[in-house]
Structure 1
Amino acid sequence: MSQHQILNPADHAQLRIHTEAGAEFGDNVMASLAMPAEFREVQAHYPIVFRRDAETGKLAALALFGFEAGENLFLNGSTWEARYRPMAHAVQPFLIGRAAEEGAPPQVHVDMGHARVSATGEGMRVFDDTGTATPYLEAVANMLGDLDYSWHESDAFFTALETYELVEPFSLEVTLDNGSVQTLVGFQTIHEERLSALDGDALAALMAEGHLARIYMVLASLAQFGGLVARKNRRIALG
């Protein structure tokens, strides 16, 4: 259960965080939110797909790690077999919080109920003996700042996709080496025919806002499905 607290040296002087990979630390997930600002890094390792919120209808982008809930095909024991992890996942158990006062600066919160919070005295310290943020916490704070900015900046990208009707539902069905069929449903991707049919003015507008490059990064990322299937076959073969 989540236990969000405002991070501060008075209450969290001895706080330590497990930074290694592991299912026991919450890495056994099939996907993570991915910000458009990090698509260049994400597409080099993971397929990027879109999901529409059932209540709000808003789009979000996801980096896929597996084909089903609780499956991370990049997780091998205590090793994450990719050079990059999406910010929303890598920054855990920290998150951005906002004070009630209008215009107040964002705050660093920590989820004390997260599995990465150490209860054994092991892990990376957050504050040193003087109560000063450690280099680890400074790096986390920088990532939180990037994540917060990227989250707000992403609205323009998703608005452009909606304006030009550039998303469509897709499904994936793959026959694995053992004969079983792996399916993936409920996601959306770029509608390539509509993208190709855009006129010069529309393409120029998308390019000027930086959206066009990110659209093509999403399309390029779909090639990573081949690697994901190969990982799934290896996982099955190893039992």
Structure 2
Amino acid sequence: MSNHQILNPTDHGALRVRADAAPELGDGVMSCLVVPSEFRRLACEYPIFFRFDGESRSFAALALFGFEGGENLFLEDGRWDAASRPFAMAVQPFLVGRPQGGQGAGQVHIDMDHPRVVLAGGEGVRVFDDAGQPSPWLEEVAGMLGALDEGYRASGEFYAALDRHDLLEPFSMDVTLDNGASHRLVGYHLINEEKLRALDAAALAGLHDAGHLEPIFMALASLGNLGKLVRRKNRRADG
């Protein structure tokens, strides 16, 4: 269940939010949605894959945190063990809402039923200061919300370009750990490097001019993090 409300100092002036990291705070997930505009920032930490949503008939990108449901190998002693987090994880429990009809400027909403929400008197980061102004932490989160919303709205053109050039291919992988346990990654897609290399100069120039070439290369580069993720899994299994 969720209880979304428009964030405002009148109703939420005493609110605090847990900013640490833990499975019970919503961080216990195997992957999360990421947008092409953040691929460059995330490519040094997480493998980035694509997944087709049969209901919406569209692709989305995911940053991978583990190899089985509910597993986040980046959680370490109440903190997120990475230089950066995907926007979708960093902004919780906030989200972008819009007026009825879906038109107009985005609004900062908060899910009051999210486990990160702490009522007055609890431990957590202030959302508003004593004067009712957004705290520096909230301003930072609002900036990430805006970047996530903008990136999501722009992502349709990116996926249309991938589809136009038939650049996504199905991917599966068997992961065998040092202790003999195995996991299988299925249902994902990645960039087909052969088809990318076969594109002519005009097609590559079009992708570059539209800003699509960089996230394509960042997604490919991110696959080097699979080995790092396996090592995290091995250390966790050994411990």
TM-score, normalised via structure 2 length? 0.96
Compute the displacement of 1:86 (Å). Answer: 0.5
Counterpart mapping for 1:80-95 below 5 A = 80-95=80-95
Inter-partner Cα distance in structure 2 for 1:216 and 1:202: 15
Match of 2:9 in 1: 9
Match of 2:51 in 1: 51
Q: Secondary structure of 2:117's match?
A: coil
Q: Give per-residue Cα distances to partners, 1:145-174, cap 9 Å, x unaligned.
A: 111111111111111001000001100102
Compute the displacement of 1:77 (Å). Answer: 2.4
Inter-partner Cα distance in structure 2 for 1:129 and 1:198: 58
Inter-partner Cα distance in structure 2 for 1:156 and 1:197: 21
Compute the displacement of 1:101 (Å). Answer: 5.8
Does structure 1 residue 39 correspond to structure 2 residue 29?
A: no
Inter-partner Cα distance in structure 2 for 1:101 and 1:234: 49
Gaps of 5+ in 1: none
AA matched with 1:224: N
Q: Give per-residue Cα distances to partners, 1:38-63, cap 9 Å, x unaligned.
A: 11111100000001112122110010
Match of 2:75 in 1: 75
Percent identity between matched residues is 55
Gaps of 5+ in 2: none
TM-score, normalised via structure 1 length? 0.96
Compute the displacement of 1:102 (Å). Answer: 6.8
Counterpart mapping for 1:65-214 below 5 A = 65-100=65-100, 103-119=103-119, 121-214=122-215
Structure 1 runs of 4+ with >3 Å offset: none
Inter-partner Cα distance in structure 1 for 2:96 and 2:176: 41
Match of 2:231 in 1: 230
Compute the displacement of 1:196 (Å). Answer: 1.4
Compute the displacement of 1:213 (Å). Answer: 1.6
Inter-partner Cα distance in structure 1 for 2:222 and 2:24: 28
Q: Secondary structure of 1:33's match?
A: strand
Distance 1:185 1:101, change over 3 A: closer
Distance 1:113 1:177, change over 3 A: same
